[in-house]
Amino acid sequence: MKTILSLIMVFVSTISYSQQDTTQNNCEPCRKHPEVIGPSFVVHGAMRLYNGMPSVRIWLIGTKRILGVSEGQFYLKGYCNLPKWLEPKLSFETDLIGDFVLYSFTPDKKGVMRFVCVDTAYNLKVIKK
């Protein structure tokens, strides 16, 4: 029952945020990017800004794993690899803790940063460092 409720929340969140992104920012949501591989997956993590590329990364809380939100290699005009409404919430002084709906550009390999795009996020908390 808990899993079904979570899936419904993800679906409703994805619909509302994707409509906001495409109408206000003239870009297609991550899930429509032609280079994504595989289905979406949800992670609980901390989104942070880093020096270097990619600058937006998500640490999977409780692990040593960090995912990179691709902004270079998988940039494609007309597609948002990060929802525009999330950008103002990011800073070097804060972390965004929450649940992120992601799509992968690269396979998951041990010891290699996996490149992803963010379709939406929910249960967000802004934490000062």
The answer to whether the beta carbons of residues 57 and 69 sit under 8 Å apart is: yes
pLDDT of residue 82: 96
- Residue spans of the domains in the chain: they are 2-128
What are the φ and ψ backbone dihedral angles of 75, each rounded to 5 degrees?
A: -70, 135
pLDDT in tens, the chain (129 residues): 444 434 334 343 444 444 444 444 688 999 999 999 999 999 999 999 999 999 999 999 999 999 999 988 999 999 999 999 999 999 999 999 999 999 999 999 999 999 999 999 999 999 998
What are the φ and ψ backbone dihedral angles of 90, each rounded to 5 degrees?
A: -90, 140
Alpha-carbon gap, residue 41 to 107, rounded angstroms: 13
The answer to whether the beta carbons of residues 104 and 115 sit under 8 Å apart is: yes
pTM to 2 decimal places: 0.78
Residues 6+ apart with CB under 8 A from 79: 27, 28, 29, 30, 32, 33, 117
Nearest to 118 by CA among 60, 57, 34: 57
